[in-house]
Amino acid sequence: MTTKIRILPENLCNQIAAGEVVERPASVVKELIENSLDANATEIRIDVESGGRKLIRVTDDGDGMGKDDVFLCLERHATSKISMEADLFSLNTLGFRGEALPSIAAVSRLTVRSRTAATLEGWEVYVEGGTVCRAGAAGLPVGTSIEVRDLFFNTPARRKFLRKEETELGHIAELVTRLALAAPEVQFKLTHNQRPIIETPRHKRLEERIAALLGRPLLTQLAAVDSGGGEGGLELRGFVSRPELTRSSTGGIYTYINGRHIRDRVVLHAVLEGVRHLVPKGRYPAAILFMTIPPDQVDVNVHPTKHEVRFSRQAVVHDFIVTAIRDSLRAGVATETVSTRQSLPFSGEVAGSFERSAASGEQYPDEIREAVAGYAQREPVLEQRRIAFNATDTAASGYGSEASALPTPQLGLFAGLTIIGQFNNSYIVAEDREGLILIDQHAAHERIGFERLLKEFRSGEVARQALLFPQIIEFDFKEAAYVAERLSVLSRLGYMLEPFGGRSYALQAVPVLLKNRTDHLSLLRDLAAELAERGVSTRLEAACENLLVTMSCHAMVRANQALSRPEITALLRDLDQIDFNASCPHGRPVYVRLTTTEIARLFRRSA
Residue 85 or residue 362: which is nearer to ligand ADP going by CB? 85
Q: Which residues of 309-330 are buried (b: 16+ CB within 10 A; e: fewer)?
A: bebeeeebbbbbbbbbbbbbbe
Q: Is 388 exposed, middle or buried (0-12, 13-18, 19+ CB in 10 A)?
A: exposed
Closest CA to 220 of 242, 187, 236, 200: 242
Angstrom distance (rounded) from CA 125 to CA 66: 12
Three-class secondary structure of residue 4 per DSSP? coil
Tell me how far CA of residue 340 lies from CA of 198, 333, 414, in angstroms. 20, 19, 46
Give me the least distance between CB of 469 and Mg ion, in Å please: 50
Selection from Mg ion, ligand ADP, none that 63 binds (CB < 5 to 8 A by kind) is: ligand ADP
Give me the least distance between CB of 32 and ligand ADP, in Å please: 7
| Contacts of ligand ADP in 116-155 (CB under 6 A) | 144
Residue 94 or residue 444: which is nearer to ligand ADP going by CB? 94
Q: Which residues contact 95 (CB under 8 A, 6 or more apart)?
A: 31, 34, 35, 38, 79, 81
Residue 35 or residue 200: which is nearer to Mg ion going by CB? 35
Give me the least distance between CB of 11 and Mg ion, in Å please: 19
Angstrom distance (rounded) from CA 548 to CA 545: 5
* 128 strand-pairing partners: 109, 131
Residue 39 or residue 278: which is nearer to ligand ADP going by CB? 39
Closest CA to 115 of 56, 69, 47, 57: 69
String of contacts with Mg ion for each residue 309-348, x by CB under 5 A:
----------------------------------------
Give me the least distance between CB of 72 and ligand ADP, in Å please: 7
Give me the least distance between CB of 536 and ligand ADP, in Å please: 31
Residue 99 or residue 349: which is nearer to ligand ADP going by CB? 99
Residue 99 or residue 264: which is nearer to ligand ADP going by CB? 99
Of 26, 29, 39, 473, which one interacts with ligand ADP (CB under 6 A)?
39
Selection from Mg ion, ligand ADP, none that 81 binds (CB < 5 to 8 A by kind) is: ligand ADP
Residue 25 or residue 345: which is nearer to Mg ion going by CB? 25
Give me the least distance between CB of 145 and ligand ADP, in Å please: 8
Give me the least distance between CB of 122 and ligand ADP, in Å please: 12
Angstrom distance (rounded) from CA 180 to CA 186: 7
Give me the least distance between CB of 59 and ligand ADP, in Å please: 9
Angstrom distance (rounded) from CA 491 to CA 484: 12
Angstrom distance (rounded) from CA 200 to CA 198: 7
List the beta strands (DSSP E) in 389-463.
Answer: 418-423, 427-432, 435-440
Selection from Mg ion, ligand ADP, none that 60 binds (CB < 5 to 8 A by kind) is: ligand ADP
Residue 35 or residue 111: which is nearer to Mg ion going by CB? 35
Structural contact between residues 478 and 190, judged by C-beta atoms closer than 8 angstroms? no
Please identify the residue of the shown chain whose CB is closest to the bound ligand ADP: 95
| Contacts of Mg ion in 76-135 (CB under 5 A) | 95, 100
Structural contact between residues 156 and 230, judged by C-beta atoms closer than 8 angstroms? no
Structural contact between residues 559 and 441, judged by C-beta atoms closer than 8 angstroms? yes
| Contacts of ligand ADP in 61-120 (CB under 6 A) | 62-65, 73, 78-81, 95-101
Q: Label the pairing between strands 310-311 and 195-200.
A: unpaired
Give me the least distance between CB of 251 and Mg ion, in Å please: 25
Give me the least distance between CB of 34 and ligand ADP, in Å please: 7
Q: Label the pairing between strands 260-262 and 310-311.
A: unpaired
Residue 44 or residue 496: which is nearer to ligand ADP going by CB? 44
| Contacts of Mg ion in 16-75 (CB under 5 A) | 35
Interior angle at CA 370, CA 366 and CA 371, nearest 5: 120
Selection from Mg ion, ligand ADP, none that 446 binds (CB < 5 to 8 A by kind) is: none
Give me the least distance between CB of 141 and ligand ADP, in Å please: 13
Structural contact between residues 289 and 271, judged by C-beta atoms closer than 8 angstroms? yes
Structural contact between residues 272 and 284, judged by C-beta atoms closer than 8 angstroms? yes
Span near ligand ADP by CB under 6 A; candidates 55-63, 128-136, 450-458, 597-605 = 55-63
Residue 14 or residue 35: which is nearer to Mg ion going by CB? 35
Of 27, 36, 241, 465, which one interacts with ligand ADP (CB under 6 A)?
36
Structural contact between residues 577 and 444, judged by C-beta atoms closer than 8 angstroms? no
Selection from Mg ion, ligand ADP, none that 530 binds (CB < 5 to 8 A by kind) is: none
Give, to the nearest 10 degrees, the angle between helix 477-485 and helix 165-181. Answer: 170
Residue 114 or residue 167: which is nearer to ligand ADP going by CB? 114
Angstrom distance (rounded) from CA 514 to CA 512: 5
Q: What are phi and psi of 257, to 5 degrees?
A: -125, 125
Residue 17 or residue 321: which is nearer to ligand ADP going by CB? 17
By 3-state DSSP, what share of the chain in percent is helix, strand and coil, each rounded to 5?
35, 20, 40
Total residues contacting ligand ADP (rule CB under 6 A)?
22
Residue 103 or residue 471: which is nearer to Mg ion going by CB? 103
Tell me how far CA of residue 495 lies from CA of 75, 345, 487, 526, 538, in angstroms. 52, 20, 8, 13, 20
Give me the least distance between CB of 55 and ligand ADP, in Å please: 17
Selection from Mg ion, ligand ADP, none that 167 binds (CB < 5 to 8 A by kind) is: none
**Identity at 193, one-letter amino acid code:** N
Give me the least distance between CB of 370 and Mg ion, in Å please: 49
Span near ligand ADP by CB under 6 A; candidates 56-64, 302-310, 364-372, 481-489 = 56-64
Selection from Mg ion, ligand ADP, none that 439 binds (CB < 5 to 8 A by kind) is: none
Structural contact between residues 220 and 335, judged by C-beta atoms closer than 8 angstroms? yes
Give me the least distance between CB of 535 and Mg ion, in Å please: 28
Residue 129 or residue 238: which is nearer to ligand ADP going by CB? 129
Residues forming the site for Mg ion (CB under 5 A):
35, 95, 100
Residues forming the site for ligand ADP (CB under 6 A):
31, 35-36, 39, 60, 62-65, 73, 78-81, 95-101, 144
